[in-house]
Structure 1
Amino acid sequence: MLKRIYLSPTAYYFKDSFKLPSGELSYSDIYKDVNAFEMSIKTYLETDKPCLALNSGTSALHIALNLAGVTSGDYVLCQSHTFVASANTIRYQGAIPVFIDSEETTWNIDQQYLESAVKDLNSKNIYPKALIATSLYGMPFEVDAIDAFAKANNIKVIEDSAEALGSSYKNRKCGTLGDYGILSFNYNKIITSGGGGILVCKNEEEYSRGLKLATQAKEKSIHYQHQEIGYNYRIGHLNAKIGVAQMSVLEQNIKSRRQLNDWYRNLFENIEGVEVQFEKSMSYHSNHWLSAILVEPSQTAGITREDIRLVLEKDQIESRPLWKPMHLQPLYKDYPYYGAKVCETLFEKGLCLPSGSNMTDEDRERIENAIQRLFKI
């Protein structure tokens, strides 16, 4: 039976010196691991901003919205072409998501439609409080233009870099590019802590506020005193310890996935109508968490992204369509949307390909053979 080739398989790497604790632990032992994880991320990001370790990227998004002052009835801008957590956390706050189309190069939020949305909302005396901008599949969004527009309109930028650890824009690491930054260490990310997230805060005061919210909003008291709603969002110390260990292989994983993206570009180079996602200029450095293609059936003799997916699946090779836009989801179909059909086209014609950091030559050969059979090369 063929070994299945997964889209982004879970992989752990441990040095011989790595040991899990046993026996009774003190609180200082537990906090030591969590603090070490936060410091390892802060050091890697080369930032002075404090990093708050939480149990998921979704938790980090939710706390970021809290810190940005988003409350019930507020409006939050969000690109439509993203994972559902970006929108769900807005609703957690009772706020209203406003979905924005993508631009064709980075596949991320389009500044033109963003400006149109804000102008139209302002004409109705609606002033969005925050913007969630996602770096899809590791590709940074148009940071300078989006940030300048947001600042001019008093809109807080929450940078959703859940998929972009190790990516950068103009040599600045993703996670440090907005008012708040989000990273994810879910099981399928470029490194995993077995579950976890990081919120990059603006300053120590906001770090402390975020930490309080993430630990049930307990007041400083000998007994358990609560004056507001809090959450159980703090990362577990074993997850933090695993996360520290995985940081040692992050750069190698990025290198492997970037090399794999180059390999896919070579594979499809002479196949008309298939384009691999690429960096639009030297300003963009993607970790290529997932390599993805766009398929234009009018140029491929009618072959669609679904044809490619099914051929790969037949050989036990996982691939998956790009994110379905939020404004097309039943959950969010009645919320405002500004744009054309760029993100709809990305969904209809886009496919994510296997992108594991430890993909073997045999795995590549199987993928190549399946593609060549389909396109009769």
Structure 2
Amino acid sequence: MQKPTPQRFLPLDVFRGLTVCFMIIVNTPGWEDSYYILTHAKWNGCTPTDMVFPSFLFAVGNAMSFSMRKFEQMESKAVLAKILRRTVLIFLLGYFMYWLPFVRHTATGWEFIPVAETRILGVLQRIALCYCLASLLIYYLPKKAVWIVSGLLLVGYWIIMYASGDYSLTGNAALAADKFVLGDKHLYHGEGIPFDPEGLLSTLPAIVNVIAGYYTGLYLQKAGSTGTSLTRLLQAGCLLIAAALVWNLAFPINKKLWTSSYVLYTVGIDLLILAILNYVIDHKKQVKWTGFFTVFGKNPLFLYLLSEVLVIFMYFIQVSQISVYRWINVNIFQRLAPGKPGSLLFALVFMLLCWSVGKVLDKKRIYVRV
């Protein structure tokens, strides 16, 4: 933990805060039924929920446009060590989070979960890998070369997916690659089969979300929140969305495969959102409403981890033969508002619980960094 840096970028804090806030809400439904906007697309397509993770990666890139300034005064070895250290720490946090609480319930009691059955990849692991590879590309290559590599990642991923399988859950090349490298037991099993939506091959196009966020941050720092700069962001966002919709005809927009069209689509929407936030906050000076979201934006990693760990233990601890998570919803929230309203109410209350922890940290000016 460390004290905050004197310079903060309010639109970025709000953008991150919106992302983390919505991420907690969609990750903690209280019941089986949820409103459409709070669920992922079953396969192809993109709901508001499918915007959360790519927006977080975009925000990581935005933050890098500020933090990587320090690299100019550092030796290359020190820069490389810093990047690798942060990558390993975030990756391990994600890995151990999925392993928690290290034991599981069985008919005879608790049983230790062996390493051979742990999920290796996941949300934080993808953030770590994308941060690492994007940072190395940006640090070692000129801007033009980084954009060329970004294009190759998107087109190359499309070629691999087209040539080595199809775009179905069971027949895609990303699944085949993950099974070959990691094996079934180390993959996510929430889709009914071993399939990891944060797999190795599908991480390659996700790097572009971070790179786009980085250069967007640099552009705003140089151009400022002027009418011209924000108009260009809006134009770029609309062009990317249009390109994504055209590409969608051949390579469907799909979050679980993290298709190249999905990258363009999500970056386009993020550009529109960030342009609007900059206009409202920096240009129109409307900042009174931002305080709620900056609580999440200033401690995004810690509050995300807190939300996930709390849920893990709420599912693990049992009351009357059911998990605490289920018991709370059955006996409180579903009685107050059955079905979807109760599910949303629980998610909102849980989000506010995490926010209250963040508020205490913010008041004490404590910001958790990795």
- Indicate the TM-score class for this superposition, using the shorter chain for normalisation: under 0.3
TM-score by length of 2: 0.28
Structure whose residues are more often strand by fraction: 1
| Bigger relative CO (Cα 8 Å, ≥ 6 apart) | 2
TM-score by length of 1: 0.27
Structure whose residues are more often helix by fraction: 2
